A and B are shown apart, each in its own frame.
Chain A
Amino acid sequence: MTFVDKSIKKIAEIIKSSYVYWETSEKNGLFQKLDPRLKVIFMIYFIVIISLLRNVYIELAMAVFIFALIVLSRLNIFYMYKRILTFTFFFGFLIALPSAFNVITRGEIVLPVATLSRSYHFWIYSVPKEIGITREGAFGVAMLSLRVADSIGLSLLIIHTTPFFEIIRGLKVIRVPDTFLMIIILSYKYIFILVRTVEDMYLAMKSRLVGAVDAGTIRELIAGRIFFIFKKSQMRYEETYRAMVGRGFSGDIALYNFRAFTAADAAAALVLGAFGILFLVVQMCI
């Protein structure tokens, strides 16, 4: 499979997954019922708490808490944790792994890895004779990995229980202007529309290419298509602007407001707020 083939396949997958997000956000679970504004505040509040925690066990308790929320929101646990663990492995564990060794983090070696003939010193660096994973280093890696896992888990929980546009509109609560929100919404929508055009264009091109075509010709064809997409985007923006003007747009956008907070939203806000404080209090007591 060529690079272009793979890219097109990935693009199609992105569209498919956006449909999955939309479908799961329609499910009748705990988080799906909550007001998007509350979810945006909850996400910011808990990400701050996650980064304030200093104890690995409390961070682990936070992971259990997020797992419980995912279960209560009736999301596909296998699908969610496949993503959470993949991201955590690459962006948490692998990045932090070198710091587990006594070359970077000094401390008590709990897992010796190699023994050199002597220790080495160079400028501000030093390599000890015995190399291994230290207790402090292991805790550091565990802490960072858990923080990444918790933050990603939390973000995926929100993404999968709230339609994308509702998340964007939820930003109204932190006073983001409507016009700015509309720009994000339009960009997101047109990525999808243009992605479809790119996919169709590529398939049309592929259907007319027979046998081996040299790389230079392919590059030329793709460059031409990129220009075409650029022009098409420009034309679409002009037409969309006209369509907006035709429906009364005159420079300022007014987006429809949210419904009022319900009693259930208020109760959920209290419970989630209390949980956040509980994590911090336990952290201070230890």
Chain B
Amino acid sequence: MKIIQLEHVSYSFYDIVPALSDVSLSIEEGGMVAVIGANGSGKSTLLQIMSALIHPQAGRVFFRGEEVTEKRLHDREFQRFFRERVGMVFQNSDVQLFCPTVFDELIFGPMQLGISEEQALRRAAETMELLNIEYLKERPTHMLSGGEKKRVAIGSSLTMNPEVLLLDEPASGLDPKTESFLTDLVISLSESGKTIVIATHDLELVDHLQPKVAVLSEEHRIEKIGTVGEILRDRDLLVKVNLIHEHKHRHGKKAHTHQHSHYFFHDHAVSGEHDGTHKRSRDKRDKQHEH
């Protein structure tokens, strides 16, 4: 069943700067979709439209078959129905963390939805355990590191127990350990039945999560939708949308220039098999990129 559906959506900032142009996309319930594209292609705008934080100037957005409009969201009942089912994690965690402490942050959503205090407290405790942030409970949110902020930002959406989780550039600026924690978390959430939509330009993350992939072009249109293998093997497409590029780098003492995606093709991406030895390794990646 389609949980989110966008039909011919267009959006521009101040009616001048285009952000999305005639975008149509469907998200299946329980599925995982990655929206990839270069900086400025409209990924974040697309996620904000999906979460009805901004509304398209043209086109229509549906959630579980019901059209989501600004007017409909004025209806408190529909607003609650929608907000408790669709959670969004912003790229900039500082924006999302506006409460005094980590605990307040986690409990904010459930409190606004009018969930009982007992249940809200239980959700906050479970989320802290899931994200290993119990030790941060009383800490003011402006005194957290980048990785901690990201965990709390994700936690603040998870306490609302949404059916759909929209993640905007979730891995940007994270250290490798936090990034791998995040990858595991997203996979677990997906396995537990949540619908996940990720906006990213990190092809390695896409490779790890193996979602359905929608590619946004620099003209703000959906260029192609397909599996990870179909998209990442399409060199012309990736060059066109500016996700792979040519640059100089070193092999031992020699430096040379060639197309480079900062991504290596795992066996499963090519053949559809997975040997279970998925490991991120810069050395391996550098050895295997295509010349």
> B94's contact among A163, A193, A257, by CB below 8 Å, is which?
A193
Q: How many residues of B contact A (CB 8 A)?
A: 40
> A243's contact among B54, B90, B100, B114, by CB below 8 Å, is which?
B90
Check if A189 sits within 8 Å of B101, measured CB to CB: no
Q: Using Cβ atoms and an 8 Å threshold, which residues of chain A touch B156?
A: 247
Check if A248 sits within 8 Å of B140, measured CB to CB: no
A185–B113 CA distance with the chains assembled, in angstroms: 21
User: Cβ of B80 < 8 Å from any Cβ of A?
Assistant: yes
Q: Using Cβ atoms and an 8 Å threshold, which residues of chain B touch A169?
A: 100
A243–B90 CA distance with the chains assembled, in angstroms: 8
Binary per-residue interface labels of chain B (89-127) against chain A in the complex, 1 for a CB within 8 Å, 0 otherwise = 010101110111101100111011110010010000000
Q: List A216-244 residues whose CB lies under 8 Å from chain B.
A: 236, 239-240, 242-244
Check if A239 sits within 8 Å of B90, measured CB to CB: yes
What's the nearest-Cβ distance from chain A to residue B151, in Å? Answer: 16
State whether A246 and B83 are in contact (beta carbons under 8 Å apart), knowing that A165-B101, A169-B100, A256-B104 are contacts in the complex.
Answer: yes
A18–B54 CA distance with the chains assembled, in angstroms: 36
New contact pairs (20) apart from A189-B142, A242-B48, A255-B104, CB-CB < 8 Å: A22-B140, A26-B138, A166-B100, A185-B100, A239-B90, A240-B95, A240-B98, A242-B54, A243-B90, A243-B98, A245-B53, A245-B83, A246-B157, A247-B109, A247-B160, A248-B112, A250-B112, A255-B111, A256-B104, A256-B117
A133–B41 CA distance with the chains assembled, in angstroms: 77
Least CB separation from A239: chain B residue? B95
User: Cβ of A192 < 8 Å from any Cβ of B?
Assistant: yes
Least CB separation from A237: chain B residue? B95
* A residues in contact (CB < 8 Å) with B: 19, 22, 26, 163-166, 168-169, 185-186, 189, 192-193, 236, 239-240, 242-250, 253-257
> A192's contact among B92, B107, B113, B142, by CB below 8 Å, is which?
B142
Check if B112 sits within 8 Å of A254, measured CB to CB: yes
Per DSSP, chain B at the interface is helix
Check if B51 sits within 8 Å of A246, measured CB to CB: yes
A276–B103 CA distance with the chains assembled, in angstroms: 35
A244–B113 CA distance with the chains assembled, in angstroms: 12
What's the nearest-Cβ distance from chain B to residue A80, in Å? Answer: 22
Check if B98 sits within 8 Å of A246, measured CB to CB: no
Q: Using Cβ atoms and an 8 Å threshold, which residues of chain B touch A164?
A: 100, 140
Least CB separation from B153: chain A residue? A243
Check if B143 sits within 8 Å of A248, measured CB to CB: no
